[in-house]
Amino acid sequence: MSNPENKKFHVDTKITQLGRNVDEQCGFVNMPVYRGSTVVFNSVESLKNNDARFIYGTLGTPTIHSLESAWSELSGAAGTVMSPSGLGAIALALMTTLKSGDHLLMPDSVYRPTREFCAVFLNKFGVEVSYYDPLLGEGISGLLRENTSTIFLESPGSQSFEIQDVPAITRIARARGIKTIIDNTWATPLFFRAHDHGCDLSVEAGTKYLSGHSDLLMGLISANAETWPALRQTYDCMAMLPGAEDCFLALRGLRTLHIRLKEAEKRGLEMANWLTRQPEVAKILHPAFPECPGHEIWKRDFTGSTGLFSVVLKPGHHQTSLAAMLDSLEIFGMGYSWGGFESLIIPFDCSTYRTATTWNPGGLTIRLQIGLEDIDDLKRDLRQGLDKLHG
């Protein structure tokens, strides 16, 4: 059986086949784990020319290449590199497109560690960062400067779930020779094809849905043909790669990714709809819901939704009663990651660090990740928790 990367299979078939070739794996179904740093050359001439398929561990192994090629095919990209975390992938992408003296546009709804990377690292190296309203769309043209080299996008926004008009922004950026980077972790390439919508670089925290089991840290960055040489050069300079076992686990997670995403979508929508009927809930921040900012753009550009969304509680509840609610939950754990098999919940407040927009949802806010537990058990757990809001 050969690798079907260029064949027109449906995604459910492709995802089981990409990144493996049993003819090269001695008939075994899965790519084995290649661990190692040193690669031995068979001649002086080969050593001088570096003409072996693999020349050193930091530049790739068969395990790493299998994951890279699979993700590139899934993303519609010219190439992919990886890092040991999602934030590492964001850093690698930004270092690919930025230099000292450049101006970067960053959405105000961005993942907070990305904001911190800008404030601490990029500021130190002379990159100026401006934050913009994620709902700006074509209006972003008014924020461009002569030295604007990069526009960063995250759609939906972290915690607050604004959907950005990615095609409008990338169209303006391309006309000005500006690079675009998107954090596409929530949707993955299965529900949003970032490169098809004009993004030069697409970042994914493989820690989340690709892993699926909360036991892996990984970031992936895919690039279109124009940006791929620069990304690969930056990656080779940094040698920032994940371990062999992590790549193996990511390849294993890839095989069930589409099935798990569809189940996450189903469960997420059921729980979100149930929450709309609870008297303590003011609104749901879920891209598939009309009240979510950018909902119409989501309907136009996305092919699905996943199991992560936020809830705005009605006014009148306080932090102490919210803490009582959260502490009473038996199934939902409190943790910052998501995309695994377990349900999670966290309280959040964006108002303290936003600079381009004002975060005033009208009530306390919580973010939920819907896992694979029995859906009725999850409802009962949340219902008894919501009861605690009343003291």
Q: pLDDT by residue (tens digit) across 294-314?
A: 999 999 999 999 999 999 999
Length reported for the chain: 391
The span from the CA of 218 to the CA of 263, in Å, is 22
Expressed as residue numbers, the domain containing 218 is 11-255
Q: pLDDT by residue (tens digit) across 53-110?
A: 887 878 888 899 999 999 999 999 999 999 999 999 999 999 999 999 999 999 999 9
- 268 in the same domain as 218: no
CA angle at 174 for the pair 304 and 172, rounded to the nearest 5°:
75
In a domain, 235, yes or no: yes
Tell me which of 255, 274, 300 is where a domain ends: 255
Please state the pTM of the whole predicted model: 0.93
Q: How many angstroms from the chain centroid is the CA of residue 257?
A: 14
Q: How many angstroms from the chain centroid is the CA of residue 353?
A: 21
- 264 in the same domain as 250: no
Quote the DSSP letter at residue 38. B
* SS3 of residue 61 by DSSP: coil
From residue 143, alpha-carbon distances to 97, 104, 171, 241 in Å are 18, 10, 15, 35
Cα torsion 84, 89, 93, 98: sign: negative
In a domain, 36, yes or no: yes
Identity of the amino acid at 141: S
Q: Is the Cβ–Cβ distance between 138 and 165 less than 8 Å?
A: yes
Q: pLDDT by residue (tens digit) across 199-221?
A: 999 999 999 999 999 999 999 99
Whether the per-residue pLDDT at 173 is higher than 70: the answer is yes
- 265 in the same domain as 215: no
Tell me which of 226, 255, 284 is where a domain ends: 255
Supply the CATH number for residue 328's domain. Answer: 3.90.1150.10
Supply the CATH number for residue 235's domain. Answer: 3.40.640.10
Domains: count for the chain: 2
Q: Is the Cβ–Cβ distance between 367 and 314 less than 8 Å?
A: no
In a domain, 364, yes or no: yes
Q: How confident is the model at residue 52 (pLDDT cuts 50, 70, 90)?
A: confident
Identity of the amino acid at 342: E
> What is the layout of strands, in order, in the sheet containing 308-313?
281-285, 308-313, 365-369, 344-348
